[in-house]
Amino acid sequence: MNLTITDVRLTPILVADPPLLNTQGVHQPYTPRLIVEVETAEGVVGVGETYGDTKYLDLARPFAAELIGRQVGDLNGLFTVADQVAVDSSRVSGQVDVGGLRGVQTADKLRLSVVSGFEVACLDALGKALGLPVHALLGGKVRDAVDYSAYLFYKWAAHPEGVVCEKDDWGAAVDPAGVVAQARLFTERYGFTSFKLKGGVFPPDEEIAAVRALAEAFPGQPLRLDPNGAWSVATSLRVAEELGDVLEYLEDPALGTAAMAEVSAGTDVPLATNMCVTTFAEIKEAFARDAVQVVLSDHHYWGGLRNTQQLAAICRTFGVGVSMHSNTHLGISLAAMTHVASTVPNLHHACDSHYPWQSEDVLTERLVFEGGAVRVSDAPGLGVEVDREKVALLHRRWLDDDGSLRERDDGAAMRVAEPGWVTPAVPRW
Ligand SMILES: [Mg+2]
């Protein structure tokens, strides 16, 4: 069996995205993703997916060139390649990632996000070549299906008038009744039984009212609220006090480990994060200060599926819970998340996924949620098949773009509706 990589293809695409609101603005009508394909000498093709903004592409291109001639099973070698690929760190160091809402962006985080796309593609190719599912390559699944939560967003009914976009059928959600109606749609369409509301959009009392309305509509079902660090410590503690009886956890109420540690010391409501613990280097201080009780992994941030397993092992060691974070993604990443989540023994919370918001995908068949869960595929590799025509269509959209949509910028999208919009300083409330 010849597992030498002979070709690597990178295809940036633009995917339709509804007008979902967050503390920094609103999703643009199209969002960039990068499809990674790795081909072996015997013609086996593995696929991966990661962020598609230009700064990721700029790293992924030299990375791809370095992979030719390497073995598809040399997953540790991907990190060596990443170190070799020059990073213009002056462009990224210390900048706050305005779109990704993932804490301070560093060259290392960019690099690991690029590695993840290639790691998943290599695992898919290796699995296909060996006739084994990706979960088997990761040591085997410990569950047959992975639970996901309904990812509720405040949203407009449509993007602002005049913006070229695809229509969605979710309607508006800008108050408690709208949020509950959206949650009902999620349960009807996908069977989700836990709910997360993206907050930090309206003043805290309005969001408290929305979570209260959810608790009344879905008594006893797990609820989460995630304002992306928009609140002060005092506001975070007030919200925790008011919603403590109904929250499964509060996600990143305040920004940074120090603020999270202060909040944590003042409440029994568990705190989750995908903002203050996003790299291995950030774990020690956060755990030592008991700043978070649940880490939301994201295989894109953390450098792939095997790093996600390592993170889960560290969390297990320290008695910290683990679940999965999501940014806008397609079916390749949902399949990858599901494989790795199926191998994590200490996964005690349903994972987040934006997938229901994406009406477009690059797969021949969309993945399905049944009872809020995705079944773990036992087919070779990820168990998904890419539709080349769909990839070509979404790539054509990327080619035709004048550049304004190739970088995710929620603030810019908000300024279309509100010309005076300035990305709010944190804490906002
Ligand atoms: Mg979050």
Residue with tokens 């949203």: 155
What is the model's pLDDT at position 87?
Answer: 56
Asked if residue 307 belongs to a known ligand binding site, the reply is no
Asked if residue 349 belongs to a known ligand binding site, the reply is no
Higher pLDDT: 233 or 89? It is 233
Asked if residue 160 belongs to a known ligand binding site, the reply is no
Is the pLDDT score of 26 beyond 80?
A: yes
> Is residue 145 located within the same domain as residue 66?
no
> Is residue 155 located within the same domain as residue 71?
no
Q: Is residue 79 part of a domain?
A: yes
Number of domains in the chain: 2
What is the model's pLDDT at position 84?
Answer: 85
> Is residue 108 located within the same domain as residue 170?
no
Ligand 1 center to 252 CA (angstroms): 6
Q: Is residue 407 part of a domain?
A: no
The closest alpha carbon to 15, from 52, 48, 57, 59, belongs to: 52
Asked if residue 326 belongs to a known ligand binding site, the reply is yes
Asked if residue 354 belongs to a known ligand binding site, the reply is yes
Q: Average of pLDDT values for 355-366? A: 98
pLDDT grade for 306, boundaries at 50, 70 and 90: very high
User: Is 339 marked active-site?
Assistant: no
Ligand 1 center to 153 CA (angstroms): 12
Q: Average of pLDDT values for 238-245? A: 98
Ligand 1 center to 91 CA (angstroms): 24
- CATH value at residue 33: 3.30.390.10
Can you state the percent helix, strand and coil of the chain, rounding each to 5? 40, 20, 40
Ligand 1 center to 83 CA (angstroms): 28
Contact predicate 226/196, CB 8 Å: yes
> Is residue 13 located within the same domain as residue 58?
yes
Per-residue pLDDT reduced to its tens digit, 30-80: 999 999 999 999 999 999 999 999 999 999 999 999 999 999 999 999 999
Q: Is residue 427 part of a domain?
A: no
Catalytic residue among 55, 141, 198, 339: 198
The closest alpha carbon to 340, from 372, 370, 382, 369, belongs to: 382
Ligand 1 center to 225 CA (angstroms): 9
Per-residue pLDDT reduced to its tens digit, 314-332: 999 999 999 999 999 999 9
Q: Is residue 92 part of a domain?
A: yes
Is the pLDDT score of 379 beyond 50?
A: yes
> Is residue 312 located within the same domain as residue 397?
no
> What percentage of the chain reaches a pLDDT higher than 90?
93
> Is residue 107 located within the same domain as residue 144?
no
Ligand 1 center to 14 CA (angstroms): 23
Ligand 1 center to 137 CA (angstroms): 29
Going 114 to 34 to 274 to 91, the CA torsion angle's sign is positive
What is the model's pLDDT at position 99?
Answer: 41
> Is residue 125 located within the same domain as residue 145?
no
> Is residue 101 located within the same domain as residue 212?
no
> Is residue 299 located within the same domain as residue 345?
yes
Pairwise CA distance, residues 132 & 192, whole Å: 29
Per-residue pLDDT reduced to its tens digit, 267-293: 999 999 999 999 999 999 999 999 999
- CATH value at residue 312: 3.20.20.120
Q: Is residue 406 part of a domain?
A: no
Is the pLDDT score of 10 beyond 70?
A: yes
Q: Is residue 422 part of a domain?
A: no
Asked if residue 408 belongs to a known ligand binding site, the reply is yes
Q: Is residue 424 part of a domain?
A: no
User: Is 198 marked active-site?
Assistant: yes
pLDDT grade for 198, boundaries at 50, 70 and 90: very high
Q: Average of pLDDT values for 394-422? A: 95
> Is residue 65 located within the same domain as residue 105?
yes
Q: Average of pLDDT values for 228-238? A: 98
Catalytic residue among 135, 159, 299, 325: 325
Q: Could you tell me which residues come within 8 angstroms of residue 187 by beta carbon, excluding any fewer than 6 positions away?
A: 150, 193, 218
Q: Average of pLDDT values for 82-102? A: 56
Ligand 1 center to 85 CA (angstroms): 29
Q: Is residue 182 part of a domain?
A: yes
> Is residue 177 located within the same domain as residue 110?
no
Asked if residue 106 belongs to a known ligand binding site, the reply is yes
> Is residue 163 located within the same domain as residue 194?
yes
Q: State pTM to two decimals.
A: 0.96
The residue range of the domain holding 357 is 140-375
Asked if residue 327 belongs to a known ligand binding site, the reply is yes
